[in-house]
């Protein structure tokens, strides 16, 4: 879990979305740009990608829960919060967005995000109706009002066989938001 010295460290939160597979290309891009990437995945994200796959791309241990790193003297979420120069959640589900907007922390990803003072970048991915729902929009506005940078989804193919707004933003747009949040 120890990032390289002098490198900007990104905690990449992967939540339970079909778009989770896009994290592999995002990790590759971030690493090519010189960032160290520590993947943190929600429990349900395992239905879409495996920890071993994320670890293989990131070259870092994947954190899945508070007990992922046995024998650590300090709480994992606090270590993650302290070591992260930026927290990027891509894909961010409506659930994770709602939790963060209301200060709920019931997993290692949301706890690390709430314990951190690092910039927060959120890239939503979900069904268009979920994305456009007034509660999701209010939650995104609340996060932005508190300093989070939201990379809006794009119009595209959705897993429900619909076309619409809710497809995860393209990696160049996410990288641009990361660079802006880090003032690079």
Measured distance CA(46)–CA(177) in Å, rounded: 26
Residues 6+ apart with CB under 8 A from 179: none
160, 162, 176, 184: the active-site residue: 160
Measured distance CA(57)–CA(51) in Å, rounded: 10
Helix, coil or strand: residue 101:
helix
Measured distance CA(107)–CA(66) in Å, rounded: 8
Q: How many helices (H) and strands (E) does the chain have?
A: 8, 7
Query: Is 111 an active-site residue?
Result: no
Task: Return the number of other C-beta atoms located less than 10 Å from residue 97's C-beta.
Answer: 25
- Tokens encoding 53: 């796959």
- Tokens encoding 104: 């709920």
For the annotated catalytic residues, the residue numbers are 160
């Amino acid at each position: 879990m120890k990032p390289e010295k002098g490198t900007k460290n990104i905690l990449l939160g992967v939540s339970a979305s079909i778009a989770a597979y896009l994290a592999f290309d995002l990790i590759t891009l971030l690493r090519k740009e010189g960032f160290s990437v520590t993947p943190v995945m929600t429990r349900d994200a395992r239905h879409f990608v495996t920890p071993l796959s994320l670890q293989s791309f990131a070259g870092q241990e994947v954190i899945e829960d508070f007990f992922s790193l046995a024998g650590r003297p300090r709480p994992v979420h606090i270590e993650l919060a302290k070591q992260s120069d930026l927290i990027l959640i891509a894909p961010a589900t409506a659930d994770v967005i709602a939790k963060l907007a209301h200060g709920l922390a019931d997993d290692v990803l949301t706890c690390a995000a709430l314990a951190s003072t690092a910039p927060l970048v959120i890239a939503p991915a979900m069904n268009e109706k979920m994305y456009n729902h007034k509660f999701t929009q209010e939650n995104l506005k609340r996060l932005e009002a508190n300093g989070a940078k939201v990379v809006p989804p794009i119009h595209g193919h959705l897993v429900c066989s619909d076309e619409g707004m809710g497809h995860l933003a393209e990696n160049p747009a996410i990288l641009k938001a990361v660079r802006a949040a880090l003032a690079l």
